[in-house]
Amino acid sequence: MRVTIRYGVIALAITLVVVLAIWPFATAFVSQWAQRDVEMRSQMLFNAARDQVLSLRAPEDGERLAALMERLAGDEDVLAVGLCEGGDLRLASSGMPEGFSCEQIAVGAGEVFTRADYAGIRAMVAAYPLSAPAEDVRFVILHDYADVEERRSQARIFLLLAAIGVAFGGAALASLVAFWIMRSWTISVRRAIEDAREGRAEDIKHTPTEIGTEIRAALSELDFARRSIDTVHTEWNPETLRIALANELPGSEVIVVSNREPYIHNLDENGEMKVQRPASGLVSALEPVTRACGGTWIAHGSGTGDREAVDSHDRVMVPPSNPSYTLRRIWLTDEEQEGYYYGFANEGLWPLCHIAFVRPVFREADWRMYREVNERFAEAVVAEAKRPDPIVLIQDYHLALAPRMIRDRLPDATIITFWHIPWPNSETFGICPYKEEIIDGLLGSSILGFHTQFHCNNFIETVDRVIESRIDRESDSITLKGYEAFVRPYPISIEWPPAAMEGQKPVPEARKAVRKRLGLPEDVQLAVGIERFDYTKGILDRMHGVDALLTAHPELIGRFCFMQAAAPTRSKLANYKSLQEEAEALAREISERHGGPFDAIQLVARHHDPEEVFELFRAAELCIVSSLHDGMNLVAKEFVAARDDEQGVLILSAFAGASRELGEALIVNPYDAHAMGEAFYWALTMEASEQRERMRVMREQVEARNVYRWAGQMLLDAARLRKKQRIMRLIEKERGRAQDAHQPQASLPQFRSERIEAGAGWADGRVGDDCATGDMGNIMDRQHG
Ligand code: F6P
């Protein structure tokens, strides 16, 4: 509206300036017109009377002439008429002003008009010759000049009013036109934005006009700019992830591959089907992402009711409450599971990659099984792929060989492999008897992701030591067998807000309910630890920390309890079995030694559903994550996400990837029991205001760097890579055509090396204008660094 008014005022000002500029000409024209009007009427009067005057010139007709002249003088605007002969006034009508003299009238061959004033009477004298000039007989008509002037000023007023009217009318019209134009622009822009929001950026049906095209172009540029900074600033959520996917990878097919399935169908003791969400960081991260992207998730069907739940193609739509993607199950025999999962993956690679001082075990039979099962997964990907170039998201150390196997079968696939556990230094990895094959398998990926830059560096160093390949340290890429894989850090996270927060009781109620369930007085301070029963998690070490706390601060006995919720996992393996036994014994021993009205350490060894886990988080004063070594650790992030009251303290191991992001936690060395005891005490005595400050910063961090951002970064990077590859393919084609036509090579764009040129630009933003994707790698490098 303000714009419309502005246009109106401008139009008004312009019109007024124009009116002022033409005003002198307009008034002169009006004067002339008024004068001319009197003259014309005078002439008409004379023409009508001329013959009669001539016929009455004889002296005897004097009376009749006088009567005629009186009649003529009665005409409108006429003051008087007279007859001049030889310079004397022979006869005049009665109104002839005193002082009139025939001699004052200019003489001419034709009629003559003169202005004259006679004692306050303003007149215009018209003189008409009636004879030859020698005789000098003239008929004079005196017109009232005041009338002329009055008409002139009336005309001026009219002109002024008309100009003002035109000015205001023009302004109103200009405002109206401006309003209409602005309105249709606004509608166009709104529709274009709507289209863009709904992912129809390529096909803006509402704005097919030129304006629409312009807007679309501008929007897509803006959109690109936005997405270029997205990874840093944008609020990532399922919707933005979906939009990113639709815009950047339109029509693409997403296939997730992991060992662990996101939903396990189990039959309970009554034969009833129960659906369980496994205790797996991988699943809690990937599941919301797959829900947002749709597609297919291929995983091992490990539940007792899994076979019953699938269709004839081993597929079932999940989540059960709101199906949005396909879960394709792979069946493994006990023998396969023994060798592939328990053996090679969890007795070999798991302890190899985690510094927990558990010796890895490598058996040839396990390795064979691992290879075979990886083949099975690769075949399933090929069978599920509907297009030759799907985006395949391979998860974790169970499937290290699958990327190469898939690459061999689907050369155009974009394979993103994410390694959820740490990658050790090259010396440590060097003890693996199958290191070359594992690295070769992983380098079938287009992008290989780790949680931290540190693990990326370890991987590149390992490749350098283990196999012959081309390593580009500037772009962190490795080329093997003619295919380039980019190594990138992508810190994994959780969904925000977490689904498990839905329906949670307020914190005071959760505190009450949990203390009641654990048989604790209401004022007891509670610490929680929640994870799989795994030796890498430092469960025993934190118990030693509790022991140190109670030894140093015995006043806390009966006022503090540590509750460890641990989901049994990989229990077939001796290390896991013994850990559980050892933990149970240690919990008992510490509780007994310190005494008190209840056990100071309560160990609950069972699976907890996410809702229960979040209730525990909300009920506790502190949460401890004391991993001896961990890729990321999502429990730490979940605790932060659970505390919407901004209270509670996180104690976090320096050896968990999460400590890089959650610096406001109390960072501890889990090997130092005394320091952990001190950290417990610090957490229990921390002021509410300090808790709030720390928690607020951590919550902001987890909210912004959520799992949609994690997936979004990988998918946007994949999109950049695909575009880059498409350009390279076009150049190859063009070059081939030129060669066929025997054209000199120099006529084509020259590339020092297609790979290096593409890779370096993609990674560090040095790509020329021909590449719209140049800055992505730049962003990736900086923000993960
Ligand atoms: O930490 C790596 C990881 O793959 C997690 O994502 C997951 O929680 C766990 O290991 C695997 O557990 P499981 O053997 O029960 O699938």
The residue whose C-alpha atom lies closest to atom 7 belonging to ligand 1 is 280
> What pLDDT score does 760 carry?
30
* pLDDT < 50 regions, the chain: 201-205, 207, 221-222, 224-232, 744-785
| pLDDT single digits (tens) 263-281 | 999 999 999 999 999 978 8
Determine the distance separating the centroid of ligand 1 and the alpha carbon of 407, expressed in angstroms: 25
The residue whose C-alpha atom lies closest to atom 11 belonging to ligand 1 is 280
> What pLDDT score does 306 carry?
98
> What pLDDT score does 219 carry?
55
> What pLDDT score does 746 carry?
39
Asked if residues 324 and 291 have their Cβ atoms less than 8 Å apart, the reply is yes
> What pLDDT score does 198 carry?
54
Determine the distance separating the centroid of ligand 1 and the alpha carbon of 340, expressed in angstroms: 14
> What pLDDT score does 16 carry?
78
> What pLDDT score does 532 carry?
96
> What pLDDT score does 494 carry?
96
Atom of ligand 1 nearest to the CA of 341: 14
Helix or strand holding residue 370 (H, E): helix 364-384
3-state helix, strand, coil in the chain (%, to 5): 55, 15, 30
Protein residues whose CB sits closer than 6 Å to any atom of ligand 1: 260, 280-282, 396, 420-421, 569-570, 631
Ligand 1 probe mutation, 396, 452, 627, 629, most atoms within 8 A of CB: 396
Q: Which two tokens stand for residue 142?
A: 């005196």
Report the distance separating Cα 426 and Cα 349, nearest Å.
14
Neighbours of 122 (CB within 10 A): 16
> What pLDDT score does 655 carry?
98
Amino acid at residue number 778: N
Amino acid at residue number 163: A
Asked if residues 420 and 397 have their Cβ atoms less than 8 Å apart, the reply is yes
Neighbours of 245 (CB within 10 A): 24
Determine the distance separating the centroid of ligand 1 and the alpha carbon of 345, expressed in angstroms: 11
Asked if residues 620 and 648 have their Cβ atoms less than 8 Å apart, the reply is yes
Return the HEC string of 706-766.
Answer: CHHHHHHHHHHHHHHHHHHHHHHHHHHHHHHHHHHCCCCHHHCCCCCCHHHHHHHHHHHCC
The residue whose C-alpha atom lies closest to atom 8 belonging to ligand 1 is 280
Distances (CA, A) of 366 to 340, 354, 372, 429: 6, 19, 10, 18
* 3-class DSSP state of 622: strand
> What pLDDT score does 25 carry?
85
Q: Which two tokens stand for residue 706?
A: 């959520």
Determine the distance separating the centroid of ligand 1 and the alpha carbon of 474, expressed in angstroms: 32
Distances (CA, A) of 85 to 69, 118, 140, 146, 367: 15, 21, 11, 28, 144
Asked if residues 327 and 262 have their Cβ atoms less than 8 Å apart, the reply is yes
Report the distance separating Cα 453 and Cα 450, nearest Å.
7
